[in-house]
Amino acid sequence: MYRLLFALVISRIPAETVHHLTLRALRAIQAVPGAAPLLRRLFAPRDPSLAVRALGLDFPSPLGLAAGFDKDAVAYEALGAFGFGHVEIGTVTGRPQPGNPRPRLFRLAPDRAVINRMGFNNEGSEAAAHRLRARALGRTVVGVNIGKTKIVPEAEAAADYVASTERLAPHADYLVVNVSSPNTPGLRNLQAVEHLRPLLTAVREAADRSTPGRRVPLLVKIAPDLADDDIDAVADLAVDLGLDGIIATNTTIARDALLSPPALVKETGGLSGGPLKDRSLDVLRRLRARTGDRLVLISVGGVETADDVWERVRAGATLVQAYTGMIYGGPFWAHRVNRALSRRLRESAFRTLPEARR
């Protein structure tokens, strides 16, 4: 039914308009007393064999919503009620910013992909922190993804990240440093180890100052376009600094073998969805081989089905995230994937998902 609705109606509406309408509906659900808990009883994962213990947190399912959808922390509870085991809000920047000019979000339906050049449009870390202060702990696991404000010079990036960390760490279940979006000029330069080391060190110290008595898990999100040697270098740095994990991967600037019309393929921005699947899986396997069990690896990129989640877990992912899969799968997509994943696990030789990790 959703596929028919998508083909006849949704695909004819600009992608960003659909995004805002969906967020508005989810925000309304979250605001109505009792609505999110009711949906949670209907759609949230309940199979105990899917439960994952990671980052000192309990996840009811390995499948989470990647950053980019709920940028301003307005609908995380409703999203969790629809079946996501965790929701990563953001990317949030130190200062509010409008992002890039529209249009900036494009569907590539033949490839089941999306190109975005949103540019970290968000209301800033103070606004997000204000919303997260009111959240009910113990319901949806909420990660907070932070990035650099566009107008902040690269030399002052660490201070910008620190400002967001000090505001948001007290309200985050885990914190992610995003240095891998292709839509903020110069941001990916921060993935170089000589820049990344002082940045991550400053964020770790700020998080510890801001949360006395609690250590907030810290992860870094990397691009799929890094060379293999650079992936190894970031992995070694994460282990050396005592980071809790790596999220792999963000969107790609590559445009290989796409089926969509050339006019769409030529749009600038980060490509997500099906075409990213193979590279994201390759990066995951490389990180797993390099780090073993020393880091939590969260795999994202081209995840559409329960088999995709299963493949990532078998390749070493502790958790898996998706976003584009929901765009093409509809509001009940996470619930369907969790049900299919339960069946996949029952048909395997393993009793729980952690046992299935190599």
Question: Residue ranges of the domains in the chain?
Answer: 2-356
Identity (one letter) of the amino acid at 94? G
| Residues constituting the chain | 358
Is 299 one of the annotated active-site residues of the chain?
no
Give the E-state strand segments of the chain in sequence order. 52-54, 57-59, 63-65, 86-93, 105-108, 113-116, 141-147, 174-178, 218-222, 245-248, 270-273, 296-300, 319-322
Where the chain has pLDDT below 70, the residues are 136-138
Catalytic residue, chosen from 61, 125, 181, 342, is 181
Among 353, 304, 291, 296, residue whose Cα is nearest residue 333 = 304
- Integer angstrom CA distances of residue 142 from 8, 67, 214, 330: 34, 10, 16, 21
Q: Sign (positive/negative) of CA torsion 123, 124, 130, 131?
A: positive
Rounded to the nearest 10°, the torsion over CA 17, 13, 301, 195 is -40
The pLDDT, as a whole number, for residue 338 is: 98
Q: At which residue do the structure tokens 């085991």 appear?
A: 85
CA–CA distance, 91 with 144 (Å, rounded to integer): 8
Identity (one letter) of the amino acid at 285? R
The pLDDT, as a whole number, for residue 137 is: 56
Q: Are 314 and 358 in contact (CB under 8 A)?
A: yes
The pLDDT, as a whole number, for residue 4 is: 86
Domain 2-356 classified CATH 3.20.20.70?
Answer: yes
Number of neighbours of residue 150 by Cβ within 10 angstroms: 18
Structure tokens at 32: 């109505």
CA–CA distance, 66 with 334 (Å, rounded to integer): 12
* Tens-place pLDDT, residues 199-221: 999 999 999 999 999 999 999 99
The pLDDT, as a whole number, for residue 326 is: 97
Q: DSSP state, 99?
A: -
Whether residue 37 is preceded by a cis peptide bond, meaning omega within 30 degrees of 0, is no
The pLDDT, as a whole number, for residue 266 is: 97
- Integer angstrom CA distances of residue 288 from 61, 76, 179, 232: 20, 29, 20, 10
Structure tokens at 52: 């994952």
The pLDDT, as a whole number, for residue 136 is: 66
CA–CA distance, 256 with 276 (Å, rounded to integer): 10
Kind plus residue range of the DSSP H or E element containing 288: helix 277-291
